[in-house]
Structure 1
Amino acid sequence: MRGGTGEAIAGQTLDQSGAGAAAPMSREGVDHALRKLREERERISASLVELEGQPGIRLLKGARLTGETWRRWEDARSRLGTLWQIFDAYQRVLEAACELRGRSPRPDPATLAELSGLLSGCSVELPDGEIPLEHRTLLGPQERRITLDEAVAMMSDAFEFVAREVAAADSAWTALLLPLEEAEESWREATRLAHTLDGTRHPELDRVGRELTALGRLVRTDPLSFMQNGHPDTGRLDRVRAALRTVGDELAGVARMRDEYPGLVARVTAVIEETEQTERRARETYETVLAKIHSPNLPAPSEGLGTALRDRLAALERLREAGRWVEMAGRFAELERAAEEALERARGELRLSAGLLDRRGELRGRLEAYRAKAARLGLIEDERLTALYGEAREVLWTAPCDLRRATAILAEFQRVIRASESETGTRR
């Protein structure tokens, strides 16, 4: 907005109080200066109108501001008011000069001297608020006048200050208002969904709502409090939006569970039934092991896993009937995990018991395989092998079976076969 007319005004020698005199300007100099000043006034007027029309300044004027934004806007608004006052005083001087110049096409020396004082002297009276303390007295501020160029410089400083403050507030609102409004709409949607699910209050949703309300009030009344190093800090708002996404996802999951509940119940019921069947098999297999295996050293399998799961499922059904879907969702997820864990536990206990019986069957198979190998080697009549075979068979087909003893016998049976096989090879 700066654009002084010093280059068109020669011989300026007036001080701040108007003392002294300036060399009169020529008629051509006066006309040139007036033309430049009128152009300058149009640019200044357009800039002020544009500033007043900025969305940011309209928001600041219409908002109920607090805190840092209120303090800075009060300062900027005062500067804006002073800017207009100086501009009015500037215009009055310019209009007076134009009116004086228009009286005669060829002004006399006295008129030229007066015009020179208006155009290049201290002719613009400052508003009271702009007079420094050192220029005031007990009775009030003394009149202070400045030149047109100095008035333009002061207006430029005030304009830049106001524009900078308005731009800062506008930048903060631009960065914060849209995500804030999106977060508020997300909260409203989540609240509506929570109400349809169980009609009760959701503690986390309530907490986020309180935080969002406080944050919204601050964004709308004090956006400049969010500025950090010249940029809006959206960290607090981002955290609230993340919490809302988490709650929203949770509620959406609850809604899906409500809509898909029959299928979910069917699946968890199938897992419970398999758990019960596996429990029975594990118990039966364990009892078989106790009868058929000597000192199995097995812990007793679990009992009642399926029954406990069915009780929990029945409790969930009561929550469903009461429409308490949010509470139910968490408990249903826990039931699903518990059912999978119970099934895996029952399977593991079944594998432990079945493994001992499988071990006995494996040893029986190895015994017959070793005997067949002995026959192929022509050792079927070997007394040592015959005795070992009889001993192993007695152990493996007698209940309870001593697996450790049977394993040792089979190892000896295999060693004798290998030794006999080596001797036969040596003789050849």
Structure 2
Amino acid sequence: MSREAADYALRARADERDRISGDLLDLEAHTTYQVLKGASLRGTTERRWATAQDDLDVLWRLNDAYRAVLRRAEQIRASRARPGAEQLSALTELLAGSSVVLRVAARPVEQRSLLPHPDLRLTLDEAVIRMEAAFRGVTSALNDIDAVWNAVLPRLDGAEADLRQICDLERELGESAGLTAEASELARLRTATLENPLGSCVDPDLDRLTRLLASSRAELDLAITVKREFAERRENLVAALDLVRAAESEARLAHGAVVAKIALPPQAQPRGQVDALAAELDALDVSADPWVLRAKRLARLEDDARQAAEQARTTAKALYGLIGRRDELRGRLGACEAMAARKGLAEDPAVSESFVRARALLWSAPCNLTKAAAAVEAYQRAIHGGKR
């Protein structure tokens, strides 16, 4: 190797050494690496990290041997401004020969042999290739573990935050949501994720716990709101029941007014709900149920009151609509009678008979709307010669 070639090789190796050193420092500073150094691992993760640590041991030992060769080469080059043949020969051996010596690692006595184990000798290029393979082994393990932690730990943090908020809400409400088992399960999932991220599948359990905690927190929030607003909401509910009572009274009046004019089936009789709703409110007043249950009962009662009032109004409107339907049929019959007169069919026996039957049904009390509508339809067909 010439002096120029030796100088070039030394500069290139120095740059390579600095780059490798930077990568190794970054590796040691990696957050997951720092956590794993002191972590209690088990299962698949423990085995994978043990393999990675073996790679790491080889990596550092190779790096030390590699750097030692470069230090020796730099010392030889620095010894003379213009190296002679002896120095160039030594530099050639160090920079191009099998100068990196990887000592055989000490083993536990049960793994030893009395036969000799020669050290491994490598060129600088071979040493770098070995270091690269070991580095990839370590970073691959780090990446796989890191991927699980990055995906699962934030979700665990969120679930634990929900649990803390639930505890705060329980203290404010003075009641327990009974989530002791869920808290223990959450702690177990965190331990499993930290100790064996590569061998634990916590997603289904964590999904279930997350949904349950979110639901419990929402229920407690509602319970606290109801507890604070109960007196006001109760007064509003009393007013809502008055509206139900008025609407049901109107429905009964409508039924009384219509049933004398229109034939109604027994099921058309309006059924009041206000008494049952009022009884439920009285029961809620003296209930010893937890506020979570009372909140649900109050919300359901408010909905039932709104629906009962709406149903009563709809019933009254439908009943009065039957009078309108009868009047509509009467008007339609009159229009058909005028058409029959224009066509000269007023004296036709069949047409006249259809008219009389329809009129008798429409002016009877109570009027059977179904039969009356059919009779008007028959009268109209008779006018058109049996065609509609």
Does TM, scored on the shorter chain, surpass 0.5? yes
Larger Rg computed on CA atoms: 1
* 1:209 CA drift (Å): 4.4
Q: Which amino acid aligns with 1:56?
A: T
- Residue 263 of structure 2 contacts residue 367 of structure 2 at CA under 8 Å; is this kept in 1? no
The TM-score normalised by the length of structure 1 is: 0.64
Report the counterpart of residue 310 of structure 1 in structure 2: 278
Q: Aligned in 2, Cα 1:53/1:297: closer, same or farther, shift over 3 Å?
A: closer
| Separation in structure 2 between the aligned mates of residue 99 and residue 201 of structure 1, nearest angstrom | 74
8 Å contact from structure 2 (residues 59, 131) kept in 1: yes
Summarize the Cα distance change of 1:287–1:28 in structure 2 as closer, same or farther, 3 Å threshold.
closer
Distance change in 2, residues 1:35/1:282 (3 Å): closer
Do the aligned partners of residues 101 and 186 (structure 1) sit closer, same or farther apart at CA in structure 2, a change above 3 Å counting?
same
- 2:233 is aligned, of 264, 278, 282, to 264
List alignment gaps of at least 5 residues for structure 2.
339-354, 384-388
Q: Indicate the SS of the match to 1:125.
A: strand
Q: Which amino acid aligns with 1:269?
A: V
Shift of 1:279: 3.8
Deviations 1:88-146 (A, max 9, x none): 22233333444555666676756654554333322222232599xxxx97625223212
Are the structure 2 counterparts of residues 294 and 255 from structure 1 closer, same or farther at C-alpha, using a change threshold of 3 Å? closer
> Would the aligned equivalents of 1:197 and 1:323 in 2 still touch at CA under 8 Å?
no
1:53 matched to 2:29? The reply is yes
Distance change in 2, residues 1:165/1:404 (3 Å): closer
1:325 and 1:140, CA in 2 relative to 1: closer, same or farther beyond 3 A?
farther
Q: Which amino acid in structure 2 is aligned with residue 62 of structure 1?
A: G
Counterparts of 1:107 and 1:300, CA distance in 2: 118
In structure 1, distance between residues paired with 2:24 and 2:265: 95
1:178-235 superposed Cα distances (whole Å, 9 cap, x missing partner): 44323321331133224423512256xx6764554344334433444589xxxxx988
Q: Secondary structure at 1:150's aligned position in 2?
A: helix
Structure 1 unmatched ranges of 5 or more: 1-9, 11-25, 228-232, 374-387, 420-428
User: Is the CA contact 2:255–2:319 (under 8 Å) kept in the aligned structure 1?
Assistant: yes
Output the CA distance in 1 between the equivalents of 2:75 and 2:213: 67
RMSD of aligned residue pairs (Cα, Å): 5.0
| Residue 327 of structure 1: how far off its partner (Å) | 0.7
Cα 1:303–1:43 change in 2 (3 A) is closer
Shift in CA distance, 145/334, structure 1 to aligned 2, threshold 3 Å: same
Counterpart position of 2:269: 301
Q: How does 1:16-415 map to 2 (within 5 A)?
A: 26=2, 29-99=5-75, 113-129=89-105, 139-202=115-178, 209=183, 212-224=186-198, 241=210, 244-283=213-252, 286=255, 292=260, 296-299=264-267, 301=269, 305-319=273-287, 322=288, 324-347=290-313, 350=316, 362=327, 401-404=365-368
1:87 & 1:139 partners in 2: Cα distance? 27
**Cα offset, 1:83, TM superposition:** 0.8
Relative distance call for 1:170 and 1:296 in structure 2 (3 A) is closer
Q: Cα gap change, 1:33/1:271 in structure 2, threshold over 3 Å: closer, same or farther?
A: closer
Q: How far apart are residue 284 of structure 1 and its match?
A: 5.6
Partners of 2:247 and 2:5 in 1: how far apart? 110
**What's the TM-score once normalised by structure 2's chain length?**
0.70
Amino acid at match of 2:229: E
Residue 386 of structure 2: aligned partner: none
* CA–CA distance in structure 1, aligned partners of residues 269 and 39 of structure 2: 72
Contact 1:197 1:255 in 2 (8 A): yes
3-state SS of paired residue (1:332):
helix
User: Residues 299 and 128 of structure 1: is their aligned pair in 2 closer, same or farther, counting only changes over 3 Å?
Assistant: same
Deviations 1:226-255 (A, max 9, x none): 89xxxxx98876675555444444433333
CA distance in 2, matches of 1:344, 1:225: 58
Aligned to 1:23: none
What displacement does 1:311 show? Answer: 1.3
CA distance in 1, matches of 2:12, 2:106: 26
Contact 2:166 2:220 in 1 (8 A): yes
- Matches of 2:272 and 2:46 in 1, distance apart? 69
Q: Distance in 1 between matches of 2:121 and 2:85?
A: 24
Alignment match, 1:425 = none
Deviations 1:258-299 (A, max 9, x none): 333333323332332233344445456656666x45864333
Distance 2:255 2:6 in 1: 119
Measured after TM superposition, the shift of residue 85 of structure 1 is 0.9
Report the Cα distance in structure 1 between the residues aligned to 2:266 and 2:324, rounded to whole angstroms: 15
How far apart, in 2, do the equivalents of 1:105 and 1:353 lie?
A: 117
Classify 1:282/1:144 alpha carbon distance in 2 versus 1 (closer, same or farther; 3 Å): closer
The alignment covers a number of residue pairs equal to: 365
